[in-house]
Amino acid sequence: MAAEAPTKAKKEAQGTVILGRYELGKLLGHGTFAKVYLAKNVKSGESVAIKVLDKERILKSGLVANIKREIATLRRVRHPYIVQLFEVMATKTKIYFVMEYVRGGELFGKVAKGRLKEDTARRYFQQLISAVGFCHARGVFHRDLKPENLLLDDKGDLKVSDFGLSAVSEQIRKDGLFHTFCGTPAYVAPEVLSRKGYDGAKVDIWSCGVILFVLMAGYLPFHDQNVMAMYRKIYRGQFRCPRWFSSDLSKLLSRLLDTNPQTRITISEIMKNRWFRKGFRSVRFYVENDELHSLDDIDDHPAEQLSENLRDDGSESGNESDSSVASCPAATSSFSEKPKLGLPRPASLNAFDIISFSQGFDLSGLFEERGEEVRFLSGEPVQDIISKLENIAKVVSFTVRKKDCRVSLEGTREGEKGPLTIAVEIFELTSSLVVVEVKKKAGDRGEYEEFCNKELKPGLRNLMYGSANIANDNSDTDRD
């Protein structure tokens, strides 16, 4: 009878509709505090994975803070190679994480059948590093990277999952390090074993090195049936590369599995490594309507994308975007011929917002800076503003992408935080005035500020409403 209980529970779960939105299907897996089910969106029919957690067990185990942190973390790291969290729901007894369903299973399943070909292993490693670097740039550290937590989608692309042990930069102690002992024994870094504190980014890089070794060799670099003996090997960095490893790969692994975290290779150095760079292509994406989209797909079908964004009569589709890089480079329609084309008129742009844009009630120029965001008022035609942005981009060799009245300027220089990406959006205020909003969407803040001060602000100054008066009034001091 005892053996029948779990089976009965599984059958009862199947077919259950959660909050009238998702119908539970088969059990995909389970851990100590959660079960993961395949489910179907009742309205769209889309397949999702739902992680079900028991509230009472979480409370008793003191894991409420961990759950909150995992939710915040998954919201912070939205990337094509990271499993997406769509929404979180709750009842009196359960918490439900509605997540992307990744059909291909664990990468561990592939490795269990034997070592991978070098090009295949390299491709997975490139995707892993892209995802991990993205996390680190946003102050998120996974701390439990291993093949079992790397899933494969139906296209064969990698998806990093299970951020249950992740940490964020806000948790770093005064000494600048983490101190929680966590991770899977075979993949844990030596500095974690020392229990003296560790750098979350360096620990993830070590785990990536172990994963790369496993993909290429088919077995672990540090292995022993006795866990303490294995820890000693890890602490001393005792491993040997098989004879089929190329010299470039062996050199990279020696940097990845460097027992000294201070001299261990960094993400930016990995990105420049010769073995890593072979066939590497940066993932390019943007977020629209709370969904990830590939820029490469748009570039391949610009005309189709344009027809989706604009109706036959040239009016707006109402498809707003909060993307870090806008789409549709083919959108070159004349704004003078169709002045309403692509002019967003958000309901939030009311008198109260206009006043809040400026300091006090002085609307001359409406120039304001808010950290990584700048707004100003302009009386120039929209097309002239966009042309000016294109000219500025040419000077610094930035890529320009346009969609309606949204323009994205994207740099080419790669760094730990990726290329600098600036989004510009133009709002119609009156028939003769527009508000231009400039935001940093990706990249290093210092690089953004330098670009704004040296290129963007001087280039756009003449487009600001009342710029002649501002220039005269501020001949000795610069408001920027």
Binding site, by residue number, is 60
The string over 221-243, giving b where at least 16 C-beta atoms fall within 10 Å of a residue's C-beta and e elsewhere, is bbeeeeeeebbebbeeeebebee
For the chain, counts of helices (H) and of strands (E): 18, 18
| Burial track 159-196 (b if 16+ CB lie within 10 A, e otherwise) | bbbbbbbbbbeeebeeeeebeeeebeebbbbbbbbeee
Bridge partners, residue 118, by sequence: none
- List CB contacts of 286: < 8 A, sequence separation 6 or more: 292, 293, 295, 321, 323, 324, 325, 326, 327
Give the C-alpha separation, 375 to 365, whole Å: 9
Give yes or no for a contact between 315 and 305, defined as CB atoms under 8 angstroms apart. Answer: no
Tokens for 162?
A: 């299970």
Q: Which two tokens stand for residue 121?
A: 């292993």
Kindly report the number of other CB atoms within 10 A of residue 102's CB atom. Answer: 20
Helix (H) or strand (E) holding 119: helix 118-137
Q: Are the C-beta atoms of 403 and 328 separated by less than 8 Å?
A: yes
Long-range residue pairs from 302-306, CB within 8 A, at least 24 positions apart, any chain: 302/328, 302/329, 302/330, 303/330, 305/330, 306/330, 306/331
Distances (CA, A) of 438 to 252, 349, 460, 476: 40, 16, 11, 26
Classified as helix, coil or strand, 12 is helix
The residue from 119, 144, 199, 476 that is catalytic is 144
Binding residues for ATP: 60
Q: By the 8 A CB rule, do 461 and 452 touch?
A: no
Rounded CA-CA distance 298/226 in Å is 52
Contact assessment for residue 141 and residue 203, using Cβ atoms and an 8 Å cutoff? yes
Q: Are 215 and 115 in contact (CB under 8 A)?
A: yes
Task: State how far the Cα of 249 lies from the Cα of 209, in Å rounded to an integer.
Answer: 11
Q: Is 275 helix (H, G, I), strand (E, B) or coil?
A: helix
Distance CA 407, CA 316 (A): 16
Query: Angle 302-307-309 (CA atoms, 0-180°, nearest 5)?
Result: 95
Residue 262, amino acid:
Q
Active site includes 258?
no
User: Hey, which residues are catalytic here?
Assistant: 144
